[in-house]
Amino acid sequence: MAIPYVLDAAHLLADRAIRRGDLAVDATVGNGHDTLFLARSVGPGGRVIGFDIQQEALDETRRRIQADASDTSLRLIHAGHETMATHLGENAYGTVSAVMFNLGYLPGGDHSMTTTSETTWSALDASVKLLRPGGVITVVAYTGHEGGEEEAYAVESWASALPEASFRTLSYRFVNQPSDPPRLYAVEKRVG
Ligand SMILES: C[S@@+](CC[C@H](N)C(=O)[O-])C[C@H]1O[C@@H](n2cnc3c(N)ncnc32)[C@H](O)[C@@H]1O
């Protein structure tokens, strides 16, 4: 199919921003599919830092990366992504190529352990500081669960308010699907 699905589109955009050896962040590790994608994209010599509030998700992801991308340096942090700036530190400001968010709850897991508008907003603010010029933030948001619509609206408001002189932002979603299709928001920090 010519038009990529939302998750594939997020990968395509992140991949365009990432070079071998870069630093990338997975803000919602979950089952580790995005973490593995980032690990493969930055390659050996690159670094990936991931956040999740569920230890089981981090354990499963570590196994996945050890099996498929063990040459990439991986740091998994059992904490909310709203602590990202503290964990990475000011030295990391302006150095991250891609920050990926896949909001909501862990498929097959506890549906109450979901991302929230407040913490997502705060993590997005931190991501902008960490992003290098030319770097990209991707956010996949779901609206079918409680709080999801409000969270997607918060992300759209946040992205829409970024100054055009410094950032390029977009939303991407299928408009003829009947049941709450996911949406992709992406932000690129302009170079120069
Ligand atoms: C849709 S899943 C992520 C899927 C994942 N990207 C993948 O590739 O499998 C959302 C994840 O966000 C996590 N989460 C919820 N609140 C969080 C927060 N404040 N910070 C980081 N992760 C959070 C959940 O525990 C869940 O694992």
DSSP 41-84: HH-TT-EEEEEES-HHHHHHHHHHHHHH-TTSEEEEEES-GGGH
Compute the distance from residue 191 Cα to the ligand 1 centre, in Å: 30
Give residue 117's pLDDT band: very low, low, confident or very high (50, 70, 90). Answer: very high
The count of other CB atoms within 10 Å of the CB of residue 1 is: 5
Task: Render pLDDT for 18-31 as a digit per residue (tens, 0 to 9).
Answer: 999 999 999 999 99
Please tell me the distance from the alpha carbon of residue 134 to that of residue 149, in angstroms, as a whole number. Answer: 29
The finding on whether 11 has its CB within 6 A of some atom of ligand 1 is no
The finding on whether 119 has its CB within 6 A of some atom of ligand 1 is yes
**123 pLDDT above the threshold of 90:** yes
The finding on whether 142 has its CB within 6 A of some atom of ligand 1 is no
Give residue 179's pLDDT band: very low, low, confident or very high (50, 70, 90). Answer: confident
The terminus-to-terminus CA distance of the chain in angstroms comes to 35
The finding on whether 33 has its CB within 6 A of some atom of ligand 1 is yes
Give residue 133's pLDDT band: very low, low, confident or very high (50, 70, 90). Answer: very high
The finding on whether 41 has its CB within 6 A of some atom of ligand 1 is no
Please tell me the distance from the alpha carbon of residue 34 to that of residue 15, in angstroms, as a whole number. Answer: 11
Task: Render pLDDT for 60-94 as a digit per residue (tens, 0 to 9).
Answer: 999 999 999 889 899 999 999 999 999 999 999 99
> Which pLDDT does position 108 carry in this prediction?
87
The CATH architecture one would assign to domain 6-189 is 3-Layer(aba) Sandwich (3.40)
The finding on whether 31 has its CB within 6 A of some atom of ligand 1 is yes
Q: Which two tokens stand for residue 11?
A: 């990968």
The count of other CB atoms within 10 Å of the CB of residue 101 is: 25
Closest CA to 41 of 26, 21, 58: 21
- Percent of the chain with pLDDT strictly greater than 70: 100
Compute the distance from residue 51 Cα to the ligand 1 centre, in Å: 8
Name the region of 32 (left: φ>0; alpha: ψ -120 to 50; beta: rest): left
**What long-range pairs does 16-22 form, CB within 8 A, spacing at least 24?**
16/136, 17/97, 17/98, 17/134, 17/135, 17/136, 17/188, 18/42, 18/97, 18/98, 19/97, 20/45, 20/46, 21/45, 21/46, 22/46, 22/47, 22/96, 22/97, 22/98
Compute the distance from residue 174 Cα to the ligand 1 centre, in Å: 23
7 CB-side CA count, 13 A: 7
* Global pTM value: 0.98
**178 pLDDT above the threshold of 90:** no
Each domain of the chain, given as residue ranges in start order, spans 6-189
